[in-house]
Structure 1
Amino acid sequence: MRCLVIYAHLNPFSFNHAIKEEVVRLLDEMGHEVKVSDLYEMDFKAVLQPEDLNLQYSGSVAADVKVEQEKITWAERLILVYPIWWTGFPAILKGYIDRVFSYGFAYAIDEKGWVHPLKGKRALLISTHGQPEAIYHDRMYISLMDTQDVGVFGFCGMEVEHIFFPGIMNSSDELRQEYLDSLKDAIAKM
């Protein structure tokens, strides 16, 4: 299977980095083809600019966007690894979505209604957050899944699974290892 890992954390010593490394290791171990888009390492230009829209209106995209769209087209599975900051995507990931998941590539409309060019792809979202699970469990997880899973990836026609790793700020090494160990089943189910 062809897998694209989209990683959005700036700290190479973060738990998110450990998750990304474990995901890549597991995918390699299972014999999958893997590409990684490390948004901070790439210094991805996350702010949608007027020229981005002008290019879209003319049926084109910026060169850096084209590279990422080609990776997504290539991939059968997308795995996103990122922290929840202020109850949402990190700005660099939101900007990536704004620029890369553009009209005509990730969604469109024709005389019959919405068109979903990415239908058939699956996405696994792996999010960390600092708050204990009890704070996020009822309301926040539902809101995040509505806006991220359904509102972005589902809207593009993708099947989505979302894993949350809560309480990272004060977590023990043992809990972090449990989280990492749980990735094997999640990756295998993909």
Structure 2
Amino acid sequence: MSNILLFNKPFNVLSQFTDAGNEASSRRTLSHFIDVPNVYAAGRLDKDSEGLLVLTDDGKLQHRISDPSNKMEKSYWVQVEGIPDETALDLLRAGVLLKDGMTKPAKVKLMDQPVDLWVREPPVRYRKSVPDSWIEITISEGRNRQVRRMTACVGFPTLRLIRYRVGNWTIDGIESGDWIMHSKK
């Protein structure tokens, strides 16, 4: 039987258990929140991103989740600067050209701010003269900072990025900084 741990990673937390090579660092890691032996993150989530991080003690499952060739979908709630029009959303849907090549088509839609969204510490820095909005983006690849680079490419920089879903797992019912355990036979 394998264990699957669903963690709602807060902002400014590293997606690893130690801050290797930085012993004097006060940066928070997974070990500040999770005291379960032999589980490892299946994929990464940048320190300045929040939301679902799946951890497991099953190496095959970890590979299936994190390997882009398996095309496991990941959905993100993205707060962007400005209000994207259909042209910008269609560009994201078709795929955009980044420095490391063309992205695969994404599922993209405007959304309302998520209900019961936790307060981020520190808060997002807003510009009074520029509105912001939320979009949901679902991708099946996972390049470094891909969603942030995609929204910037179409002229709407990301202010806040929350991974809502990985495959069939979501952060529903998991408070920021909390986790739940699933067992898989």
Q: Tell whether the structures are fold-level matches, with TM greater than 0.5.
A: no
Q: Which has the higher helix share?
A: 1
Q: Which has the higher strand share?
A: 2
The higher relative CO (CA closer than 8 Å, separation ≥ 6) is in 2
Normalization by structure 1: what TM-score? 0.27
Normalization by structure 2: what TM-score? 0.28
